[in-house]
Chains A and B, each alone.
Chain A
Amino acid sequence: MKTTFALVGAAIGLAVAAPASAGGLLKAPVADWTGGAVTCEIIHQILENEMDYKVKRITMPSGPGVAEGLRGGDLDFACETWPSYSTTKEKYVTEYGGDGSVKYFAPVGVIGQSGYFVPRYMIEGDGAVAPDLKTYADLNKYKGLFKTLESGDKGRLIGCPVAAWECKDAERIAGLSLDYQLVELGSETAHWAEMKAAYARKEPFLAYAWTPHWIFAELDLVEIGLPPHSEEAWPVSDWPEDVTYNYGRPDLSDDHPQVVQLIENFRLSNDEQAGLILAIDIEGKDIEDVASAWLADNKSTWTNWVPQTN
């Protein structure tokens, strides 16, 4: 009996004593969307392979929870925030008028663009029901196609899924005098599920979406033209470019300056990210493998990012 307890105790003791990494342990959330996740995975692998850090990847919904984690010091950095979808930047990020409890590090290099989209089969091909649908000006003509049970005589526009995002769909609909009812599906999951199911049934739909995004790897969508973006006309215009950025907790620059330096040097273009997204979502490869393959192929690019004074 006693030996049993001693053995159990010894096993627990052995299990607890885990080896620590020389550079230290960093904690970072994994983004919900493939693009953000692969951006971060590249940074994580450089930190782990070249700079002797260990990165604990934490799965949680990207959103205000991440900001709370950074402010509380429980997370060290996070990748690829999209200004349009950050609901807390005005509160916490100095660059947007916040109190500085979350720190802006540097742009990712990926530039996002939002818009309204319809499936290509509506416009082109044999069964095309709306061949002339090109810009917002044509939308009222085709509103009958987008009618649903709940929208009555109006067409249905599937707007931004989350109320807090900077989409201002309602103002845009009113400003462009579109005879459409705005529908907000509550979560990204519901948004993409609705589009994917309608696409599978070859039904017409008009929905908000943004690039780069994995949904474009699955569905062939065409953008509906909006008046070009301008500060004065906003929100009755196209969206501004989303200059995505990496960010983290303010003290990270003091605790691990070389980590912040790496993040500041890091850049990834839209085209590069699109290739990575394709490999993950369409070819079904593992995100870790895709990131390490990219690192193997682009050594000359990323070696310059690694800070020399290590």
Chain B
Amino acid sequence: MADIANPTGKGLDLNGPWARAGGAAIILILSLIVLYTIGEEQVFPEAATSRFPFADWVNNAEDWLKANLRWLTRAISSGVGWALETVEEFLWTVSWWVVLIGLVVPSLAYGGLRLAIITTLGVMMWGAFDMWYEAMSTLSMMGISVGLSIFFGVLIGVASAQSDRFEAAVRPILDTMQVMPAFVYLLPAIFFFGIGPTAATMAVMIYAMPPMIRLTNLGIRQVPETMVEAARSYGCTPRQMLFKVQIPQALPSIMLGVNQTIMMALALAVLAVFVGGGGLGEQVWKAIVKLKVGWSLEGGLCIVAMAIIFDRLSQAMSSQPEAPKLNRGEMLFRLLPQSWEPYFLARWIEQTINVVWVGVATVSTAITRAVAKAVGVISKPAGEVIGKRPHLVMALTLIAIIMILQEYAPRSWRPGDYPGDWEFSIRKPVDDAIAALTIYPPFYSVTQWMRAITYLYFLKPIDFFLTHLPWWYVSVLFTAIAWYIAGWRLGLLTVLSLLFCGASGLWGLTMYTITGTTVSVLFCLLIGIPFGVWAAYSRLADMILRPILDTMQTIPAFVYLVPALFFFGGNPTTAVIATVIYAIPPVIRATALGLRQVPVEVDEVARSFGTTPLQALVKLKIPLALPSIMLGVNQTVIMALAMQTVTPLVAGLGLGKEVYDAMNIADTGKGLTAGLGIVLMAVVLDRLSLAITANQWAALGLK
């Protein structure tokens, strides 16, 4: 790396690895000297904390809003509430077949047979675990909040693409919306929007809208200037420009935003229970307050199934279907891996599937043509639109048939609810397994060993270091690091953030949060990078890891908090373990992706020089993949910070606990202050890791 960064290799090499290591060593020694000369727990000066009653200002503002704005929020809430109830009632009363068809037909059309099978299994899981009605409630809540997020997100995104100043004003708000712990605004949401799914929808929108805004803005800004110029020279009006040129061009980016918004919304589905939002979150909550792990796992898996269905479906809808690469004479496999083509049995299965596939396609094309023709009589453009969307016609036709049957057919013919005979439960085996592991001595000794290592060698010393160094020393140190890496602006932001936390009386808690996050991120890297390397080298590993990572990211943390408590006990280590589970997937994904994107030639060149594969990996491929890995680290850091607000439920400490405690006494000011502390930390770390990434790219001469 150093050679690339400083190709001449002459003179004083300030960026070289030795210079950096030396700098770090000097800082460490200096810190230890300061630590031993001062040597007691440090507090932020009283003079500053007593003059900065930020929490009181927030509470006064909240009181004013409560007195003056409630009529407006209640009006909004009754509108949203009506929409929610309508959708929910519809989903509750129709046959489960309607929901199945409504999701499977588009899956089949956009994602093929494999996606259709995943969707079918997912939908059946809701019924199998006897959580159909809860799933429908969550589905309607997600539908409305995602719909509104997309609408307002595109609106704001378009606006910020038009004006740099507006974008600059919106950006910090978006950061705040994404990182501000939901516990801060859930209680006020009850007062403003009422108990129930409406308040939950509003809370979900706060969290889920930012990616929509960001990616719409990005997509429109990335439309090539030449295209805009060309359109303008043809006399495009600004409106035409937007609707006919910019938005269609930005569509892939906007669709990615939709995908992200759906995933974020589902991540908050469980917290809806804190405002009486019902749905699957209610099941998970009811289960964990009684420590029923199996029950909560069923609820959690239903949410995972929903996330996977919508993730894959929206991805399939936004990307162009790529034609599979077939060798001469090979037949197309719809279900099984294409590499099984040489085997007779596989070909026989696929042949059968193909016959059905062609049959279904023929029938639906015929029906679509007929419908399009019929509609075409009334309105020609409408007919054309319908003719191009056979899956829509088929889905509606099938749904109509089922609804007619449900209404008029003899009782035994009615499609009805999910059949009770198809239910099954994993509650007892899961509970039994957890109970057995809890008292299994070898397992317990491993978990206790992990607990000891984490606490004695990581959490305790780092926390001691940060809380016993004077506040001004820590502030100067962090500011200098930020300045050195990313310039004076970030240095300024760092010092202001630290002063804000200190002046709000949160110095010790802030230091603890830094400790907890640092240790968690460190563990994510130590565990995640090897897994990422494994996934990059082995297709099989990648196949095994993908669904596991998806599950880790979307399963509600509540589900694994209870087993983590059983195994590791109620102590700060459990909080670290929970954070690692939640925050590790991006590191693994980014490492695997980064390594796979390294050009094949690198391997060949390395081999021709006689390097071992390990040397090639460590000396060549990882440095080349570093920018990509750093982006994953960036996400991991943000996710680890976001998790700090959940870990207080399992003996986690720091700013997150302050937020949680503030919620318990309905003190919005206190909660918002600590929440802002977390937001500021996230923003600083985000910009810092982005700057490091940019430096890496620059060092590689790529950007």
**Interface of A toward B, CB cutoff 8 Å:** 1, 3-4, 7-8, 11-12, 14-16, 18, 27, 29, 32-33, 58-61, 63-65, 67-69, 71-72, 74-75, 87-88, 91, 148-150, 158, 162-164, 183-194, 196-198, 200-201, 214, 281
Given contacts A58-B196, A68-B187, contact A196 B566 (CB under 8 A): yes
Q: Which of B206-214, B301-309, B396-404, B543-551 contacts A (4 or more CB under 8 A)?
A: B396-404
Give the residue of B276, B403, B567 whose beta carbon is less than 8 angstroms from that of A58. Answer: B276
Q: Which of B319-327, B481-489, B579-587, B658-666 contacts A (4 or more CB under 8 A)?
A: B658-666
B566 contacts A197, C-beta separation under 8 Å: yes
B274 contacts A65, C-beta separation under 8 Å: yes
B374 contacts A1, C-beta separation under 8 Å: yes
- Smallest Cβ distance from B88 to chain A, in angstroms? 9
- Smallest Cβ distance from B75 to chain A, in angstroms? 14
User: A196: which B residues are within 8 A, CB to CB?
Assistant: 291, 566
Q: B279-307: which residues lie under 8 A (CB-CB) from chain A?
A: 282, 285-286, 288-291
Determine if B369 is an interface residue (Cβ-Cβ < 8 Å).
no
A74 contacts B562, C-beta separation under 8 Å: no
25 contacts between A and B (CB under 8 A): A1-B374, A8-B399, A8-B403, A11-B93, A11-B94, A14-B93, A15-B92, A27-B195, A29-B276, A58-B196, A60-B195, A60-B275, A71-B191, A72-B194, A87-B664, A148-B571, A163-B661, A164-B661, A164-B664, A186-B652, A187-B650, A196-B566, A198-B569, A201-B438, A281-B290
Interface residues on chain B, number (Cβ under 8 Å):
67
Determine if B417 is an interface residue (Cβ-Cβ < 8 Å).
no
**Interface of B toward A, CB cutoff 8 Å:** 85-86, 89-90, 92-94, 186-187, 190-191, 194-196, 273-276, 278, 282, 285-286, 288-291, 371, 374-375, 386, 396-397, 399-400, 403-404, 407, 435, 438-439, 444, 451-452, 455-456, 561-562, 565-567, 569-572, 647-652, 657, 660-661, 663-666
A189 to B90, CA, bound (A): 35
B194 contacts A183, C-beta separation under 8 Å: no
Give the residue of B371, B407, B451 whose beta carbon is less than 8 angstroms from that of A1. Answer: B371
A64 contacts B664, C-beta separation under 8 Å: yes
Given contacts A60-B275, A61-B285, contact A4 B397 (CB under 8 A): yes
User: A281: which B residues are within 8 A, CB to CB?
Assistant: 290
Give the residue of B374, B403, B455, B652 whose beta carbon is less than 8 angstroms from that of A150. Answer: B455
B666 contacts A67, C-beta separation under 8 Å: yes
Chain A residue, CB-CB nearest to B650: A190
Identify the 4 closest CB pairs spanning chains A and B, nearest first.
A60-B276, A194-B570, A193-B565, A64-B666
A299 to B439, CA, bound (A): 46
User: B275: which A residues are within 8 A, CB to CB?
Assistant: 60, 65
User: B404: which A residues are within 8 A, CB to CB?
Assistant: 7
Given contacts A1-B386, A29-B276, A68-B187, contact A190 B649 (CB under 8 A): yes
B276 contacts A16, C-beta separation under 8 Å: no
A184 to B57, CA, bound (A): 29
B565 contacts A75, C-beta separation under 8 Å: no
A189 to B400, CA, bound (A): 46
A200 contacts B439, C-beta separation under 8 Å: yes
- Smallest Cβ distance from A222 to chain B, in angstroms? 21
A300 to B86, CA, bound (A): 43
Given contacts A3-B400, A186-B660, 13 further A-B contacts (CB under 8 A): A12-B90, A63-B664, A65-B190, A65-B274, A69-B276, A87-B665, A88-B666, A189-B288, A189-B561, A189-B562, A193-B291, A193-B562, A201-B438
Chain B residue, CB-CB nearest to A73: B194
User: A61: which B residues are within 8 A, CB to CB?
Assistant: 273-274, 285
User: B375: which A residues are within 8 A, CB to CB?
Assistant: 1
User: B438: which A residues are within 8 A, CB to CB?
Assistant: 197, 200-201
Give the residue of B195, B289, B403, B444 whose beta carbon is less than 8 angstroms from that of A189. Answer: B289
User: A64: which B residues are within 8 A, CB to CB?
Assistant: 187, 663-666
Give the residue of B407, B456, B647, B666 whose beta carbon is less than 8 angstroms from that of A87. Answer: B666
Given contacts A1-B374, A183-B651, A187-B649, contact A32 B289 (CB under 8 A): yes
User: A184: which B residues are within 8 A, CB to CB?
Assistant: 651
A150 to B463, CA, bound (A): 13
User: A198: which B residues are within 8 A, CB to CB?
Assistant: 569
A16 to B562, CA, bound (A): 39
A74 contacts B195, C-beta separation under 8 Å: yes
A91 to B407, CA, bound (A): 53
B663 contacts A149, C-beta separation under 8 Å: no
A198 to B439, CA, bound (A): 9
User: A69: which B residues are within 8 A, CB to CB?
Assistant: 190, 194-195, 276
Chain A residue, CB-CB nearest to B82: A16
Given contacts A186-B657, A189-B288, contact A58 B195 (CB under 8 A): yes
- Smallest Cβ distance from B301 to chain A, in angstroms? 19
A65 contacts B186, C-beta separation under 8 Å: yes
Chain A residue, CB-CB nearest to B189: A68
A14 to B408, CA, bound (A): 14
Give the residue of B273, B278, B286, B565 whose beta carbon is less than 8 angstroms from that of A190. Answer: B565
Chain B residue, CB-CB nearest to A69: B195
Given contacts A29-B276, A88-B665, A163-B661, contact A72 B190 (CB under 8 A): yes
